[in-house]
Structure 1
Amino acid sequence: MAALIPNVLAMKGEFIQAIYATLYMTFFSAIVSAVLGLLFGVLLVITQPGGILEDKLTYSVLDKVVNLLRSIPFIILLAVISPVTKFLVGTTVGMTASLVPLIFGIFPFYARQVQNALLDVDRGVVEAAEAMGSSPLEIIFRIYLREGLADILRVSIVTIISLIGLTTMAGAIGSGGLGDVAINIGYARFENDITFMSMIVILILVFAVQLIGDWIVRRVERY
């Protein structure tokens, strides 16, 4: 191993810290983005024309916010949103600071995916629930979220994998993590084993998310 990855072994402590930073950024930004994305996705579905709580103004505002944030390249978003990051966490550098742009970068994508997943729910079931006098909250939780759960989980897998990719981009500008190690150490110093091992660890994380996610989806679909 010393011959294959000498530079990785020489900075083993820093490399382990980079893995931790990537997991930290992915986990906490995924949690917050899941809440915001699910909220926005549900609101887009129920306030759209023909929705159970149709509201053209609310739908128009939410739709434009999601489209706007999705349209900004993440590397530019990192710079544009830095004043907000500074205001919220007191700094623009480090793991915690990276959470702000990561959340703003991924939750609009997830919201749109959730919206599409919920739109696949049988409209007839929704109309039947309305005819039976179910409240909007009952329809949201008992129909939309229950019937669309498997599809929501599938898009969640895709979102988390995309989020892992964004953490590497955030790392390249000083937030830490495997992206930081791969670019600012491995690439900049021509220590290719560091870049290669960073890529391997990222691929392992992606495959792990995919396998665990697929297993959960299969379990949900059985019930």
Structure 2
Amino acid sequence: MLLDLVNEFGKAFFETFWMMSIAVLFAVLVGVPLGIALFVTREGMFFENRFVQQVAGTIVNIIRSIPFIILLVVLIPFTKLILGTSMGPTAASVSLTVAAIPFYARLVEASLREIDRGVIEAAESCGASPWLIMKDVLLPEAKPGMIAGLTVTIISLLSYSAMAGIVGGGGIGDLAIRFGYYRFQNDVMLITVIILIILVQLIQFIGDRLAKAASKK
């Protein structure tokens, strides 16, 4: 039984790692450009566009306002459409990705807002194009905040991934529900919680170190 339980833990953590890896990848690939778009289309910026700002901002806010457990259920038909199934870690990664993109996009936008406006104006006065400013000014200046935001996003996704077990998504949450809840094995539940706490602390430690290394201050 101990060997079976160890194997179950190994499988659960691999499933959690897999679904989170997919979500984090798309959060960065889509969330960063979306966050930049939300920032540069604001009033007073070089790509000011009220329509884009309102539409993109509204969509982001709507998705962020939906509790993740409800989002999991709402996206089941969409997940079946693109993957053919709503079960398993890959299917669960769809909901995680949809939740992660707007979440991280707002954190990227917040990091960009913290940049001293004078730095941007100085680059503009030197004749730098908007694209050059984004590449050589905005992204380098916002890098520490973006790394910190990604750390928060990963930790949030870890807690979200635990909920995926409720709808057959596998992973740590599924293990805790099957053994800790349905079979009344409280020791499994306790071990799962302790491991999650350790993982969160480790992720936060690494994220803080990377953000500090990227900071120029």
* Category of TM-score, reference length = shorter chain: over 0.9
| 1:181 equivalent in alignment to 2:175 | yes
Distance in 1, matches of 2:203 and 2:142, equals 20
Query: Which one-letter code corresponds to 1:45 in the other structure?
Result: F
Q: Which of 63, 70, 74 is the aligned partner of 1:76?
A: 70
Q: Which of 69, 76, 90 is the aligned partner of 2:84?
A: 90
- Compared with structure 1, are the counterparts of its residues 9 and 203 closer, same or farther at alpha carbon in structure 2 (3 Å cutoff)? farther
Indicate conservation of the 8 Å contact 1:8/1:194, yes or no: no
| 1:106 equivalent in alignment to 2:100 | yes
Unmatched tracts of structure 1, length 5 or more: 1-6
How far apart are 1:184 and its partner, in Å? 2.3
The 5-angstrom pairing of residues 98-177 of structure 1 reads: 98-177=92-171
How far apart are 1:170 and its partner, in Å? 0.9
What is the alpha-carbon root mean square deviation over aligned residues?
A: 1.4
**CA deviation vs aligned residue, 1:150-186 (integer Å, no higher than 9, x gap):** 1111111111100100000112221110100001221
TM-score, scaled relative to structure 1: 0.93
How far apart are 1:205 and its partner, in Å? 1.5
Q: Per the alignment, in what secondary structure is the counterpart of residue 148 of structure 1?
A: helix
Q: Which of 189, 192, 214 is the aligned partner of 1:195?
A: 189
The 5-angstrom pairing of residues 39-58 of structure 1 reads: 39-58=33-52
Distance in 2, matches of 1:170 and 1:113, equals 24
**CA deviation vs aligned residue, 1:176-205 (integer Å, no higher than 9, x gap):** 101000012211110111111111221222
TM-score, scaled relative to structure 2: 0.95
Indicate conservation of the 8 Å contact 1:8/1:193, yes or no: no
Indicate conservation of the 8 Å contact 1:172/1:184, yes or no: no
| 1:214 equivalent in alignment to 2:217 | no
How far apart are 1:8 and its partner, in Å? 5.3
- % identity of equivalent residues: 40
Distance in 2, matches of 1:83 and 1:132, equals 52
Query: Which one-letter code corresponds to 1:110 in the other structure?
Result: Y
- Compared with structure 1, are the counterparts of its residues 8 and 43 closer, same or farther at alpha carbon in structure 2 (3 Å cutoff)? farther
How far apart are 1:109 and its partner, in Å? 1.2
Query: Which one-letter code corresponds to 2:16 in the other structure?
Result: T
Indicate conservation of the 8 Å contact 1:89/1:97, yes or no: yes
Indicate conservation of the 8 Å contact 2:89/2:169, yes or no: yes
Q: Per the alignment, in what secondary structure is the counterpart of residue 121 of structure 1?
A: coil
Q: Per the alignment, in what secondary structure is the counterpart of residue 43 of structure 2?
A: coil
Query: Which one-letter code corresponds to 2:155 in the other structure?
Result: I
Distance in 1, matches of 2:152 and 2:79, equals 26
Distance in 1, matches of 2:121 and 2:157, equals 36
Distance in 2, matches of 1:77 and 1:37, equals 18
Q: Per the alignment, in what secondary structure is the counterpart of residue 100 of structure 1?
A: helix
**CA deviation vs aligned residue, 1:56-113 (integer Å, no higher than 9, x gap):** 1111110001000001111111111111111111111101101110011121111111
- 1:3 matched residue in structure 2: none
